[in-house]
Amino acid sequence: MSVTIRDVAHKANVSVSTVSRALSAPNLVRQQTRDRVIAAADELGYRPNTAARSLITGKTGILGIVVTDLGNPFYTGILKGVQARARQDAYSVLFADGEEDPATEESLVRTMAKQVDGLVVCAPTMSDQQLRDLAELTPMVLVNRHVPEIPAVLMDSAGGMRQVVDHLAALGHERIAYLGGPRGAWSDQERRAGLLAAAERQHIGVAEFGPFPPRFDGGIQGADLALAAEVTAIVAYNDLMAFGTLSRLRSRGVRVPTDVSVVGFDDLVFSATSAPPLTTVAMPTEAAGRAAVHLLLARLAESGAGAPATAQRLDTYLIVRFTTSPPGAPVSVSAHH
Amino acid sequence: MSVTIRDVAHKANVSVSTVSRALSAPNLVRQQTRDRVIAAADELGYRPNTAARSLITGKTGILGIVVTDLGNPFYTGILKGVQARARQDAYSVLFADGEEDPATEESLVRTMAKQVDGLVVCAPTMSDQQLRDLAELTPMVLVNRHVPEIPAVLMDSAGGMRQVVDHLAALGHERIAYLGGPRGAWSDQERRAGLLAAAERQHIGVAEFGPFPPRFDGGIQGADLALAAEVTAIVAYNDLMAFGTLSRLRSRGVRVPTDVSVVGFDDLVFSATSAPPLTTVAMPTEAAGRAAVHLLLARLAESGAGAPATAQRLDTYLIVRFTTSPPGAPVSVSAHH
DNA sequence: GCCCATCATGCAAACGATTGCTGCAACTGT
DNA sequence: ACAGTTGCAGCAATCGTTTGCATGATGGGC
């Protein structure tokens, strides 16, 4: 059927062990035989059987990634980065979608654990304890989730929020609203904390709202609340919500950014082309994917569980577009009719 | 280290063969022993070693999917469907991104072919011949690409375009523009052909433009061209372009849909929330992913290469929102100042 | 009470690679 | 010329399953 190492050995007039070594530990065989083997191998189109190999080595050459919800464009960047970096080291990547359900996530991880050399798990909805248990099963690195014992790469949302607040402060805003996302999410906690801390430092007042569903409609709901709170700027948990806010503001006759500034978070593809283009914070998703794999590979290489669980932080960047400006008159909806 | 079938056998006081059979061919062992085995198995937390299994069976329990560009939200739907359906049958899925490069795509497929039981390839940019060669390596089904010898699931873009034209005709439009996508793409050929055929049948005039890059800026460029052609409706190759068109129209003071109707294609998440919400054609991406896996699995089961290469067509649906209406005055830009 | 189906179970041979150990040759230094 | 070293190649065990074949037990029909 398929061409095996034995065929190559026969063709090159050597034993199978020699073939094996010629291909994976080049300096253990004489140059001359090695060339002969290699010639035979690719003349026959030999590709080692990965199942046989991993049976004995215990390594599969496969990495796994599980995300909470692929529907969210945010994750596709990570996925891209993971795959690109993995490919660099000739790893394949198994993919699974947790569908925002902790139970599904856990079962997915358990299944995968058997088939992969390591796993990257994105912003899981599971508990810390579940995560710790799972981490026993296979080398694992987290993305945008922090559990002390597990290595992770985190995107510095707090830092992003600091930039947002500094930007707003520089513009002269003195009272802003924060439209929060799901309380459970690590991201929301980070963003909220970052915003609050920076606001205090800058002596800016914050009206907090939420939690809202982190989607378009959440932003609509939040917009009304924020308007009533007489703020000059609205910071949304993410771009999706910011779009909802923008939409609601327009339909209520509030001009952006003249009457009120709006800022999002994530820098989705559409953020550059919304009307008006949205000021937001760019997350280095692809870089995070790469970094996660890099970290994972490093751990695999040293293979000692001895290394401490490092958490790597990636910088985020504020992208100023056209939804922020110095505040005009205090927001008063009735004034615009 | 890890718990093997031998451990289970020992604990249940049977031979390894019995354990193997109890777990995979239940009716070959007595009910009573079977229960005993199963009890022992999950008490020990036994998970069969997939490498060992596939070494002997030749099956890996893994399916592969390669997409042209994960950045395009269109593919994530397919990916989701693929993964969900695969999971139903306890298959895992290997994922790879071709980065819109035929060479990368090919190398990816070749690598994967060794490790998977079957492959679904989405809208590949490779040539028919390359695809045929690759199809020799492993069972394969195409999505949104037609090659006679290879089974495929196609989304009926032509049918969608027919619905668009019928809708526009019913509204009273008599002259429309088509903003084309990349000429090479199967999708563009289908959409263009569907639109042209339906237009002829309805006695509607069509001004064709393009090819444009299938993105926001392509739509901007196209908008200007279409306006100059004095049409009452603009049909874009996809939603991304339609957004660009919408944006350009607004900034030129052309009202949508009063002055000109706009329709997109794909029904992205954002299409429902654009301003105004976009009339577009929904592609059953997730269903397509499921269907592709279903087809693949069916082929694997019958395992005979005898079956003909069926091509399955999935219906698309026009979603009428707020960018289409009966035509007002013929488009004349200067009239709006 | 005997023989023949029938059913449940065990034995052992694969599957295709990797790798520790062994053996042989050639070479070095004295 | 001989012992010791080194370098290269082969033998065979091993990884954890599945599965064809053989065997033992059970039961039913006569």
Tens-place pLDDT, residues B59-116: 999 999 999 888 777 888 999 999 999 999 989 999 998 887 888 888 888 888 888 9
What is the pLDDT of chain B when averaged over all its residues?
90
Query: Is domain A62-150+285-314 given the CATH code 3.40.50.2300 in the classification?
Result: yes
Contact B94, A93 (CB under 8 A): yes
> pLDDT (tens digit, 9 = 90+) per residue, B20-74?
999 988 788 888 899 999 999 999 999 999 999 999 999 999 999 999 888 777 8
Helix (H, G, I), strand (E, B) or coil at A17: helix
CB atoms within 10 A of CB B123: 19
Contact B123, B153 (CB under 8 A): no
β-strand partners of A95: A65, B93
Task: Give pLDDT, residue A275.
Answer: 86
Q: Report whether pLDDT(B288) > 90.
A: yes
Bridge pairing between strands A152-155 and A118-122: unpaired
Min Cα distance A82 → chain B (Å) is 10
Q: A70-74, B92-96, B137-141, B285-289: which range is least confident on average?
A: A70-74
Angle at A62 between CA A61 and CA A63, to 5 degrees: 130
The H or E element containing residue B105 is helix B102-115
Span A158-186, average pLDDT: 95
First to last CA, chain B: 79
Task: Give pLDDT, residue B337.
Answer: 40
A275 is near strand C: CB distance < 7 Å: no
Q: Which of A42, A59, A70, A117 to mutate to test the interface with B (most CBs of B within 10 A)?
A: A70
Q: CA B55, CA A58: separation in Å to the nearest integer?
A: 13
Cβ-defined contact of A270 to B270 (cutoff 8 Å): yes
> pLDDT (tens digit, 9 = 90+) per residue, B199-236?
999 999 999 998 999 989 999 999 999 999 999 999 99
Whether A225 contacts chain B with CB within 8 A:
no
Q: What CATH number matches the domain at B62-155+285-313, 2.20.25.240, 1.10.443.10, 3.40.50.2300, 3.40.1440.60?
A: 3.40.50.2300
Contact B232, B331 (CB under 8 A): yes
B201 is near strand C: CB distance < 7 Å: no
Cβ-defined contact of A62 to B87 (cutoff 8 Å): no
Whether A322 contacts chain B with CB within 8 A:
no
> pLDDT (tens digit, 9 = 90+) per residue, A286-295?
999 999 999 9
Whether B112 contacts chain A with CB within 8 A:
yes
Where do the domains of chain B lie? 5-22+35-48, 62-155+285-313, 157-283+319-332
Cβ-defined contact of A95 to B84 (cutoff 8 Å): no
Q: Which CATH class is domain B157-283+319-332?
A: alpha beta
If one compares B105 and A192, the residue with the highest pLDDT of the two is A192
Span A273-280, average pLDDT: 93
CATH architecture of A5-48: Orthogonal Bundle (1.10)
B54 is near strand C: CB distance < 7 Å: no
A37: nt with nearest C1' to CA: D9
Burial (Cβ within 10 Å: 0-12, 13-18, ≥19) of residue B177: buried
Contact B211, B178 (CB under 8 A): no
- pLDDT-above-70 percentage for chain A: 95
pLDDT band at A334 (very low <50, low <70, confident <90, very high): very low
Min Cα distance B55 → chain A (Å) is 5
CA of B2 to C1' of D14 (A): 16
Task: Give pLDDT, residue B99.
Answer: 82
pLDDT band at A278 (very low <50, low <70, confident <90, very high): very high
Task: Give pLDDT, residue B331.
Answer: 42
Domains A62-150+285-314 and A157-279+320-336 share a fold: yes
Closest B-chain CA to A241: B273
Q: Report whether pLDDT(A121) > 90.
A: yes
CA of A47 to C1' of D6 (A): 33
pLDDT band at A1 (very low <50, low <70, confident <90, very high): low
Whether B74 contacts chain A with CB within 8 A:
no
What is the pLDDT of chain A when averaged over all its residues?
90
> pLDDT (tens digit, 9 = 90+) per residue, A72-105?
778 889 999 999 999 999 899 999 988 878 888 8
Q: CA B237, CA B223: separation in Å to the nearest integer?
A: 12
Min Cα distance B155 → chain A (Å) is 20
Span A207-231, average pLDDT: 95
If one compares A21 and B303, the residue with the highest pLDDT of the two is A21
Task: Give pLDDT, residue B210.
Answer: 82
Q: Report whether pLDDT(B244) > 90.
A: yes
Q: Which two tokens stand for residue B207?
A: 């001004």
Q: Report whether pLDDT(B304) > 70.
A: no
Q: What are phi and psi of A257, to 5 degrees?
A: -95, 5
Task: Give pLDDT, residue A99.
Answer: 81
Whether B193 contacts chain A with CB within 8 A:
no
Burial (Cβ within 10 Å: 0-12, 13-18, ≥19) of residue A304: exposed
Span A34-38, average pLDDT: 92
Task: Give pLDDT, residue A174.
Answer: 96
Residues in chain B with CB shorter than 8 Å from the CB of A60 are 51
Closest A-chain CA to B219: A273
Span A58-84, average pLDDT: 90
Q: What are phi and psi of B265, to 5 degrees?
A: -160, 125
> pLDDT (tens digit, 9 = 90+) per residue, B146-203?
999 899 999 999 999 999 999 999 999 999 999 999 988 888 999 999 999 999 999 9
Among the partner residues B55, B95, B269, nearest to A93 by beta-carbon distance: B95
Task: Give pLDDT, residue A330.
Answer: 46
Cβ-defined contact of B92 to A92 (cutoff 8 Å): no
CATH number of A157-279+320-336: 3.40.50.2300
